[in-house]
Every structure is written in C-alpha cells, then in structure tokens.
Chains A and B, each alone.
Chain A
Amino acid sequence: MPNISRDEVAHLAKLARLAVTDAELDTFAPQLDVILESVAKVGEVANGKDDAVPPTSHAVPLTNVFRDDVVRPSLTQQEALAGAPAAEDGRFRVPRILGEEPPGWSTRPSEGGPEARPSGRTRKEA
C-alpha cells in the first residue's frame, strides 16, 4: 500500500496549479512515495498535537515588526510593470477570470484524499 497514489499526485498537482503530464505522474508518484515514506519518520518522536513539545515555525522568536506609517520611495508604475508578461493601460493584463469552472475542482478524489486547507475562498462543488 503506497503512501500516495498516482491519482492523489494528480489531484495535488491540480491544487498547486501545475498542468503535469501523464509521463510526469508516472515518474513523480513512486518518487514522492519514497520521499513520504522517509519523512514520515518524524512521527517516531512527534505527532503534531502533543502539548509537551510546542511547534517551532521560526528560529527567531519574533511576532510582528512595524514601521512608521510614512511615505517612502517605492517602484514607479513603469518599473512595477516592467517584468509583466502583458500590460495594458498601465495595468497588468490577465486572462479572463470570470465565467469559468476552475479546472480540477470538479474531479476530486474519494473521501479521505488530500484537500487544500480552507483558504476563505468560495469553491464550487461538483
């Protein structure tokens, strides 16, 4: 029983907006299975829940760092747009974002499969 199936890898790739090929799925699925098998060793000393060992997200124990709310130099509009794949009227030109059924969101695997964590974004269910 592998840690991760080819279908799960395909689903994760869709969540991550990677239009992977069938050949890549054939290669990645067994490789990721080996990697997950190995990283699962963290479970020998931690379970992600035990209060006795607090999680460390960052080596430097900082919370928030604020600066004074004053205007400071920044990029010009022209500089900000300089690297854009397409720009129009001083703005980033993007492909259409409305009237679509997002690819992948209607082909989710069976229950128990990985899902993205709630992002606060409305999803269309199949």
Chain B
Amino acid sequence: MNSELIKRTAAELAAKIHTGELSSVEVTQAHLDRIAKVDDQLRAFLHVDAEGALAAAAKVDADIAAGRAPSSALAGVPLALKDVLTTRGIPTTCGSKTLEGWIPPYDATVTRKLREAGVVIVGKTNMDEFAMGSSTENSAYGPTHNPWDTTRIPGGSGGGSSASLAGFEAPLAIGTDTGGSIRQPGSVTGTVGVKPTYGGVSRYGLVAFSSSLDQAGPCARTVLDAALLHEIIAGHDPLDSTSIDAPVPPVVAAAKQGANADLTGVKVGVVKEFRGEGYQAGVLDSFEAAVEQLRELGAEVVEVSCPHFRYALPAYYLISPSECSSNLARFDAMRYGLRVGDDGTRSAEEVMSLSREAGFGAEVKRRIIIGTYALSSGYYDAYYGSAQQVRTLIIRDFEAAYQQVDVLVSPTTPTTAFKIGERVDDPMSMYLADLCTIPANLAGNAAMSVPSGLSADDGLPVGLQIMAPALADERMYRVAAAFETARDAAAGTAFLNQIPEL
C-alpha cells in the first residue's frame, strides 16, 4: 500500500486526494515512513518536519472534506525543499556550519507560495555548502548518496532534492540552479530538473550565492509534475527586483500537448560544441539515441554551432566566485550565524575572521578567495571584466541559434554519477560537471534535464538537456514531455521503475 503510494506521480496523488479517494495525511505519512526507512542510506534530508507536514496535510484534507476547492493542482502532495530557501520556524542551514541551528524569521517567496498552494513541505534537503558544488560532498553535514548506487554522488548542489525524488521520499522537490545545480543532479539521478528563465521564480528568501545567476526551480519524476510545480512557484514578486513582471509561461499546457508525442513543426538544434573529448561514451550514445527519437517524433533536427560556449565554464568560475565573495560578506558573525573567539579581548575584525574560518568549508573559502582576486584592482579587467564580455558573446551565440531553431539540446553533464570521493581533491575536475549547463545561466535562458536513458557502459542514468529562449520555458516542456512519452513507451515502464530497490 505504502510502496504503491510513494511510486505515484504528483499529478496522480493530487487527483486522488482532491476526489477524496486518498487523504493527504496518509500520502504524507507514507512518505515520512519511507524517509524513516531509507534516509539513513541516502542522507537526502537535513531536517524532516513531520509535525508541520502532517498539520499541512490535515488542513488540505479538512478543506476537501468541507467541500472547498483545493488551493492548487498539487494541494496535499508532499515536497522536499532545498535547504537554501528560508522557512519560517524551520531550520535553514544552506549545508553550512555557519548557519547550523539558524531558524529564519521569514519565509522565502517560493516557500510562501508552496504553503499557500497546500503543497506539503516534508523537510529540507542536503546540498553543497551555499550551493557551491556538483556532488553534495561540500555539505558540512556529509554527502547525500545516489539511490541508483549509494557509493555514487547524487549530483550537486541540489543532490538532496534529486536523491529524495529517485529514492521515492517525495514526488516533488525544489532546487536552485546557479550553474547547473538543478539539472546536473536531475541527470545523474534519472529525474526531471528545470531551471526556469532567470527572473521567472522569485529569489526572495533564496540565500544568495551568485545573484545574477541563481534561480529556483521545480524538480520531479515526470515532466508534467515539474510543470505543475513550476506554475505554483513562478510569477512576479515585488520583493525581488530582478523578478520579471510578465505572465508565467504556459508550461502545464505545453507538457500536456507534448504528451501527444508529436513534434511536427518543432526545430531542434544540437549544440556542436557539447560532444567529443571528455564525454563518456555511454552518455554520448544515449544522447544520440535521444536526438534520433526527437526526429522520429517529427522534429526537424539541425546542428548548431555556439562557438563561445567553450568559454562559459571559465567565465562562470570568475563571475560566480566574484559575486559569492561579495554575497557571503554578510556572514560576519554579527547579526546571525556562527561566532567564535569572542572572548572580550578580540576585536570585531578578529572575531569575524575566526568565525568565517570556522564556519565555511574548503570550497566556499576557495571561491571567496578567487572572487576577491578577480575583483582586485590590478586584475579586474583581465578577469571579471573579460568574463562579463564573454557573457555577452554567449548571449549572442544563443540569439543566433534561436534564429534558426526553437530549442537547443545537449547532454546535461559529460558523465554519469561518479563515485563519492573521486573528485573532492581536484576542484577543476569537479567544475567540469557543469560544462554544458552553465551557458543557460550566463544568458538567463530556460533549460531543463529529462532522463534520456541508461548509459550502456555503467547502467546509470543519463540526462538530455533542453534549452529554450528566455520566457519561452513552455517550448522545452513540450519537447521533454514528447520525449518522455516515447521513452517510456519504448521501455514499457516509467523510467524510475528501472531503479534497483534500496
């Protein structure tokens, strides 16, 4: 019974909850039971709020019993929330020692919208510290494990959210994507991860890492579930000055249209630069098969060159550390967070330096130092200034590409899930996990990852990245839904049903 509930899609659960066939409380309890059973192995959650979740579920059930309309299409469905979004009264750590035990006095806009929609927040998920990383190994609270193979990483920074989906601990999750932190975890866990257009989802209450790139988005096991969640969290927010004041793209309608598995009239561009050396053979094979599938669905497929995409990774590792060095200056041991060494003799400067040293992990320190360097007077033009110009060149590449095609596709990440520990001592090799995802962040475009299949060389999931122009998020949902329909029809089962039992 419980195992049946936890494998259902969010859309199916919502439909049954809204007709009264299932209660939100029993659905929520089934997921809490699953978390209690498997999270010792996965470590997807930093905090589980069983009491709050069951209370929220009971409220949805009471509304439905009283004949009131559910507050949203996903009312009553459990969700795992990345621990970088503030939750009033519930700990928010960002995976950092510096925020251990911090209880935010306010909700992020995403959190507020979820609560108002009746979505049941079951807990806060593990992540690389302040969202800096591609494996969750940079969490101060230890790594999350990939449900496909618990010796491997679940991606990062949103590895807790992706693992909670693949481990059937929640049918919905929220991630944040600065350089690929939603899409790469989606890819390596066989789940769907969407980075909406920058400005499409409010950043209010999203603890800032790199403000010009950070974007929250939906994570799920199906394209339709991601679309339903997208429409709940998206929309203009006066509390975020970079929030776009425009209608939310019609992503649910697009996902439903795509499920008809007809892509006639859709032009798909294959990014020429994202293949070849450094890509795992099984990843490329799965990608080629996915492109062939899109062609069979009626899409017109052409190759597109985006020559500056190869400079996206170096530009990103200048821009994001620069913004991070500025943003993380807020952790000064004065207003919140860890304070050490305040013995009555030390100055504020000394206490600040000792507290930041004790509160931040190695990757955060590396990035703060790189950012401080890139913004230094003697190096500003050569590093930060040049990186900002590369950003312009990448936007121009996208503009030229979208003159020719409706969406662009590539592998989401060059390899399948790597072993825990394999890249921790080599920051550059870790950074390469974001090679294909970064251009969309720099340009502010929408992009998503949908499972393309299992890699023939290791049996692990591979992700297909689909990129769309800014505010045309619906295009990628249509393509992803069509692909998903064809993929599952060919396999005879939903993708995640191929995952080994924990």
Contacts and interface: CB of A to CB of B under 8 A. Distances in A.
B351 A36 contact: no
Interface string B368-391: 111011011111111111111111
Interface string A15-35: 111111100100110011011
Given A24-B365, A42-B387, A56 B395 contact: yes
Interface in A95-125: 95-97, 100, 102-103, 112-118
B489 interface: no
Contacts of A19: 350, 353-354, 356-357
Contacts of A27: 362
Contact of B360 (A12, A18, A44, A58): A18
Contacts of A126: none
A83 interface: yes
Interface residues of B, number: 80
A12 B105 CA distance: 33
B11 interface: no
A59 B444 contact: yes
A38 B308 contact: no
B314 interface: yes
Contacts of A48: 380-386, 388-389
Most A-side CB within 10 Å, residue of B198, B352, B369, B444: B369
B260 interface: no
A117 B105 contact: no
Given A79-B105, A97-B348, A46 B362 contact: no
A16 B308 contact: no
Contacts of B346: 95
B372 A16 contact: yes
Interface string A49-65: 11001111111101011
A103 B375 CA distance: 21
B356 A47 contact: no
A32 to B, nearest CB: 6
Interface in A68-97: 75, 79-80, 82-86, 92, 94-97
Contacts of B344: 95
Contacts of B391: 55-56
Nearest to A21: B357
A56 B376 contact: no
A41 B384 CA distance: 12
B444 A18 contact: no
Interface stretch (B56-64, B172-180, B236-244): B236-244
A24 B362 CA distance: 8
Nearest to A117: B377
B325 interface: yes
A9 to B, nearest CB: 6
B392 A75 contact: no
Interface of B: 102-106, 198-199, 212-213, 238, 241-242, 244, 308, 311, 313-315, 317-318, 325, 329, 332-339, 342, 344, 346-354, 356-357, 360, 362, 365-366, 368-370, 372-373, 375-393, 395, 427-428, 431, 442-445, 470
The 7 closest A-B CB pairs, nearest first, are: A59-B444, A48-B385, A48-B381, A55-B388, A85-B339, A83-B336, A114-B376
Given A54-B389, A55-B392, A95-B344, 14 more contacts: A16-B356, A18-B368, A35-B366, A38-B317, A42-B314, A42-B318, A43-B386, A46-B386, A58-B242, A59-B442, A59-B443, A59-B444, A83-B335, A95-B351
